[in-house]
Amino acid sequence: MRDSGSTGRAYDIVLFGATGFVGELTARYLAVHAPADCRWAVAGRDRAKLEKLRERLVAVDPACATLPLLHADASDPASLRELAASTRVLATTVGPYIRYGEGLVAACADAGTDYADLTGEPEFVDRMYLGYDARARRSGARIVHACGFDSVPHDLGVYFTVKQLPEGVPLRVDGFVRSRAMFSGGTFASAITALGRGPQMLRAAKERRLSEPGPVGRRVRAPLGGARRSRETGTWALPLATIDPRVVVRSAAALERYGPDFRYRHYASVKWLPVAVGGVAAVGAAFALAQFPAARAWLTNRYAAGSGPDEERRARSWFTVRFVGEGGGRRVFTEVSGGDPGYDETAKMLAESVLCLAFDELPPTSGQVTTAVAMGEALLERLRAAGLGFRVADVREATGVTDR
C-alpha cells in the first residue's frame, strides 16, 4: 500500500460522477464498506445535486453528514487537475467516456493518481493507452479501466481459471455469459456511442497494435470464433465482440502464468435458438441505426441519463459466466456469479477496486493496467468476501474432444 501520509493528499478516494445512477450506488457502497479511517469524498459539477446526495447518504451512515463535496467539471481541465491532485485514488462513472473521460485520465497520469472507471468502450481504452500510458508509468499512476461488469467477472474469472491449470503449457479458455438484467440511460448512451464509432474504433485499435510491445517468446490471442451449439454448456454460444476479451488478452500478455500460448474466446450463452437469432438481429439493427446521427440521438433519448431499474427489478437480476479451461492434460469448469450485473454488482466491483488500490498490498505496477494485473488475487478475495461467487465446478482429464 502507498503511504497516504507521504503523498500529502487530502483524500484516499474521490468518486467523480457520484450523482449519476451507478455513481450513487457506488457512493452508498462506500458509505457502508469503506474503513472508518478512509478519507473519501464525492465530486461533480452540480453542488445542489451533491448536497442532496449527501443527505441521502446520511440515512445510510450518519457520518456522511460531513462527507466532503468537491467541484469538478469534465469540460474544465483545471478543475480535473485539482481533483486528481487531491486524492490517492480517483474513480469516475461519467460516460460516455470517449466524450467525457480523457481529461480525468490525463490529470491522473500527470499527478501520479490511481484511476478507475466503468468504461466498456474499446476506442476510449486504446486512445488512453496511446496518449497516457507512458505518462502514467513515469508518474507511477495505475490507470485501470473496465472495473465493473465490463470486465471484472471476465478478467478475474479467466485469472481464476488459469490458476486451476498446469503452469508452463499452452492454455485454452472459453467464457460463456448469461444474465438477466436491465441497463441505465448512461450505459445505453455509451453503447450507442460506441456502435456509431466503428471506423474510429478500428483506427485506434490499429494504432495501438503498432505501438504496444507484445509478450516476448509467448503468444496470446482472442479470436472471435463463430456461433455454435456448445456441448460444454448445452446452450447456443454467440461470439461477443465486446471489450472483455481484449482485457483478458492484455492480462495474459502481462502475466506469464497464462502460459507460452494462450487463447481466449468469449460468448453469450443462450438456451433457445429463436432467442439467439433474435439477439443477433437486435444487435445488427442497433448497429445499423447507430451509423446515422439522427438515429443515434433518437436511440439515446429513449433512456434518460441518470435513470435505471428500480431496486425491486435489480433484486431479480443476475449473471453467471461459465469458463471451460484446458491445458497440460487437465480440464476445468469454473463459474463467476452474482446479482444485478449492470448496477448493484458493478457498483460493488468499482468500489472494491478503488478500496483495493487504496489499501491493499499489490504488485508494483504503473501505466494502463488491467484489474487482473493491478490487483489480481487481492481484488478476487475482496469480491468473494463481498458476495460474488468464484468457484470450481468440475475438474477432469482432457479428452481431446472439445468445442473448437
Tell me the pLDDT tens digit for each residue of 116-160.
999 999 999 999 999 999 999 999 999 999 999 999 999 999 999
Task: Say whether pLDDT at 78 is over 70.
Answer: yes
CA angle in degrees (0–180, nearest 5) for 390-396-401 = 115
The C-alpha cell of 148 is what? 465493473
Give the residue from 124, 388, 122 showing the smallest Cα distance to 244: 122
Lowest mean pLDDT among 25-39, 116-130, 143-157, 388-402: 388-402
> Structural domain boundaries of the chain?
4-148+345-383, 152-340+387-397
Mean pLDDT, the chain, rounded, equals 88
Q: Which residues pair with 221 in a beta bridge?
A: 263
Confidence of residue 293 (pLDDT cuts 50, 70, 90): low
Q: Does the structure show a pLDDT above 60 at 186?
A: no
Per-residue cell: 349:
466491483
Confidence of residue 294 (pLDDT cuts 50, 70, 90): low
Q: How far apart are CA 233 and CA 154, in angstroms?
A: 17
Percentage of the chain beyond pLDDT 70 is 84
4-148+345-383 carries CATH number 3.90.45.10? no
User: Sign of dihedral through CA atoms 151, 250, 174, 279?
Assistant: positive
| The pLDDT value given to residue 298 | 55
The predicted-structure confidence for 199-238, as pLDDT tens digits, reads as follows 888 999 999 999 999 999 999 999 987 888 888 888 889 9
Please tell me the predicted confidence (pLDDT) of residue 397. 86
